[in-house]
Amino acid sequence: MRTQFKLTLTLLIVIYISSCKSISPPIAANAEARTSIEMLTTKGSIIIELYNETPLHRDNFIKLVQERTYDSLLFHRVIGQFMIQAGDPDSKFAKPEDTIGFGGLDYKIDAEFRPNLFHKKGVLAAARDGNLKRASSAIQFYIVQGKVLNDSLIDRNERRINESLARHYARNDPNNKSLLDAIQKARDDQDRQRFIQLNDSLNFIARAYSNFDYYVIPDAHRKVYKTIGGTPHLDQNYTVFGEVVQGIDHVDAIAAVPTGVFNRPIEDVRIIEMRILKN
Structural domains for the chain: 35-147+229-277 (2.40.100.10)
To the nearest 10 degrees (0 to 180), the angle between helices 151-171 and 192-207 is: 120
**Cβ atoms within 10 A of the Cβ of 94, count?**
18
Q: Model's pTM, two decimal places? A: 0.86
Give 257's DSSP letter.
S
Residue 279's pLDDT is: 73
pLDDT band at 15 (very low <50, low <70, confident <90, very high): very low
CA distances from 237 to 79, 135, 214 (A): 19, 10, 13
How far, in Å, CA of 172 to CA of 176, rounded?
7
pLDDT band at 11 (very low <50, low <70, confident <90, very high): very low
How far, in Å, CA of 222 to CA of 228, rounded?
10
SS3 9: coil
Q: What digits encode the pLDDT tens for the residues 46-57?
A: 999 999 999 999
Do the Cβ atoms of 263 and 269 come closer than 8 Å? no
Beta bridge partners of 47: 38, 246
Residue 3's pLDDT is: 39
Do the Cβ atoms of 129 and 237 come closer than 8 Å? no
How far, in Å, CA of 147 to CA of 81, rounded?
7
Provide the mean pLDDT of the chain: 91
What's the average model confidence in pLDDT over 14-42?
63
Q: What digits encode the pLDDT tens for the residues 217-236?
A: 999 999 999 999 999 999 99
How far, in Å, CA of 115 to CA of 163, rounded?
18
DSSP E strands, the chain: 35-41, 44-50, 75-79, 83-86, 108-109, 123-126, 136-137, 141-144, 240-246, 271-277
Q: What digits encode the pLDDT tens for the residues 124-140?
A: 999 999 999 999 999 99
Check residues 80 and 37 and name the one with the higher pLDDT. 37
Residue 153's pLDDT is: 97
Q: How many helices (H) and strands (E) does the chain have?
A: 6, 10
Q: What digits encode the pLDDT tens for the residues 159-209?
A: 999 999 999 999 999 999 999 999 999 999 999 999 999 999 999 999 999
Do the Cβ atoms of 121 and 17 come closer than 8 Å? yes
| Side-chain half-sphere CA neighbours of 132 within 13 A | 12
Q: Which of 121, 64, 94, 69 is nearest to 251 (CA)?
A: 121
How far, in Å, CA of 77 to CA of 261, rounded?
9
How far, in Å, CA of 68 to CA of 275, rounded?
8
SS3 76: strand
What's the average model confidence in pLDDT over 61-76?
98
Q: Over 60: is that where the pLDDT of 28 sits?
A: no
Report the relative pairing of strands 141-144 and 83-86 from DSSP bridges. Answer: antiparallel
Residue 37's pLDDT is: 98
Q: What digits encode the pLDDT tens for the residues 176-186?
A: 999 999 999 99
